[in-house]
Amino acid sequence: MGFWKDTEDFQTACSALLEEVLKSAQVLQDGVSGGDKNVINTLSIIDLGFGCGDQCLYIKDVLENRRQTKGDNPRKRLLKAYIGITLESAHFRIAQERLGRKPPNTNEVFEIYCADAGRPASWTLEIRNAVTLACQTNDEKENHENWLLGLDSLIHFQPSRWPVIEYANRKLGASLMAYDLCIADNLSVRQRVILRLMALFGQSPFANWITIQEYRERLVMAGYARENIEIRDISEHVFGPLAGFLRKREVELKLYGLSIGRFRYAAGMFAWWRKTGVVRGCIVVARK
Ligand SMILES: C[S@@+](CC[C@H](N)C(=O)[O-])C[C@H]1O[C@@H](n2cnc3c(N)ncnc32)[C@H](O)[C@@H]1O
C-alpha cells in the first residue's frame, strides 16, 4: 500500500486514505453482473466529521465523474445522497465556501451541516429529516446501499462513537466504513498514562481507546454480524510516513525561520506510535 510514503502534500495524503477506505468498503465497485440491467445501483453516504471539506470535494468529484461516464456500464454504483456533518462552525464555513465554488448537480442530494455528528439525539429536525430521507429507498428498480463514513473522526466523539453507530445500524440500515484508531493489547501502565494524556490533549474520550478485539465486539453489540466485520491494521503505512512528512516540513520551514507549531507535537506523537505500536490505525468496514 504505502500510500503516504512519497506524499509531498497533506491533502493528497488524506485523499489517499479516503480512497483506501472507499476501496475496502467496495462502494465504488460495480453492481453484480448478470443481475437485472434495469436495476440502478445507488449509494448514500452520511459523512461524520468531515473537517474543512477535503473529503466532501473528493467524494463529489469521484462520484460525479462516475455519473458522467454512466454510459459505459449500467451497473455502476451512483451517488444518490451525501450528507456531511462537522462540529466546528469555522470548518463548516470553509467547507461551505469550497463546495459553493462547484456548480450543484441536480441529480443528487449533497448537503452539509454543522452539528455534533456523534449524538443523533442532538440533531435538529432538519438534519434528522435530511439523513432519514437520504437513507430511504422506495424504488424497486434501485439496489441501494447506505454507508456511514468516519475518516479519522470517530475517536473524537463524546461520550463515545457508539450512539451514532447503533443509530446508523438500527434506524438507517447503514453499513460503516471508517479509518479509526485502536490500541494494542497489553499496554504497560506507563504507556496507558501517556495515552491518557494524549487523549486529553487530543480531545478524545479515553473510553474510545479500545483494542481491535474490543472494537469488533462493540460492533457486534451495535447490531453488525460478526462475519460482516473487517478491521485491517494499516499502522505501518500511516504513522511512520506521517511523522516523516511533518519532520521534513519542519526542516523546510526552519530554513525560512518558521516553525510547524503544534504539528511538532503531532510529529513526535506519530513517531512514538510507530516505534511502540501502542496505537493502531485501522480501516474498519462493517456491512449490513
Ligand atoms: C482528525 S480530524 C479529521 C478531519 C477529516 N475527516 C480528515 O480526515 O481530514 C477530526 C475531525 O472530526 C471533527 N469532529 C470531532 N468531533 C466531532 C463531532 N462530535 N461531530 C462532528 N465532527 C467532529 C473535528 O472537528 C475534526 O474536523
C-alpha separations of 247 from 43, 113, 202, 254, 271 in Å: 39, 34, 20, 11, 10
- Asked whether residue 64 carries a pLDDT value surpassing 80, the answer given is no
The closest residue, in CA terms, to atom 15 on ligand 1 is: 156
| Cβ(51) – ligand 1 distance below 6 Å | yes
Which of the two residues, 200 and 65, has the higher pLDDT score? 200
**pLDDT exceeds 60 at position 260:** yes
Cell digits of residue 176: 460503516
Pocket test of ligand 1: the residue of 86, 93, 153 to mutate, having most ligand atoms within 8 Å of its CB, is 153
Q: Give me the percent of the chain exceeding a pLDDT of 90.
A: 64
Ligand 1: which residue has its CA nearest to atom 13? 49
- pLDDT tens, 203-214? 999 999 999 999
- Parallel, antiparallel, or unpaired for β 229-233 and 279-286? antiparallel
Tally the C-alpha atoms within 13 A of residue 143's C-alpha that lie toward its C-beta. Answer: 16
Residue range 66-81: average pLDDT?
A: 73
pLDDT of residue 242: 85
CA nearest neighbour of 29 among 2, 66, 69: 66
- Answer for the pair 166, 262: CB distance below 8 angstroms, yes or no: no
Is residue 174 very low, low, confident or very high in pLDDT (cuts 50, 70, 90)?
A: very high
**What pLDDT score was predicted for residue 33?**
55
The domains of the chain, with CATH numbers, are: 10-234+277-286 (3.40.50.150)
pLDDT tens, position by position, 124-173: 999 999 999 999 987 778 889 999 999 999 999 999 999 999 999 999 99
- Please state, in angstroms and rounded to a whole number, the distance separating the CA atoms of residues 71 and 280: 41
Amino acid at 137: T
Does ligand 1 lie within 6 Å of residue 156's CB atom?
Answer: yes
DSSP strand pairing (174-183 vs 142-151): parallel
Q: What is the mean pLDDT of residues 83-99?
A: 95
Task: Assess whether the C-beta atom of 152 lies below 6 angstroms from ligand 1.
Answer: yes
Percent of the chain with pLDDT strictly greater than 70: 89
Band (39; pLDDT cuts 50, 70, 90): confident
Q: How confident is the model at residue 9 (pLDDT cuts 50, 70, 90)?
A: low
Query: Which is more confidently placed, 128 or 71?
Result: 128
Question: What values do phi and psi take at 35, rounded to 5?
Answer: -75, 180
SS3 sequence of 19-48: HHHHHHHCCCCCCCCCCCCCCEEEEEEEEE
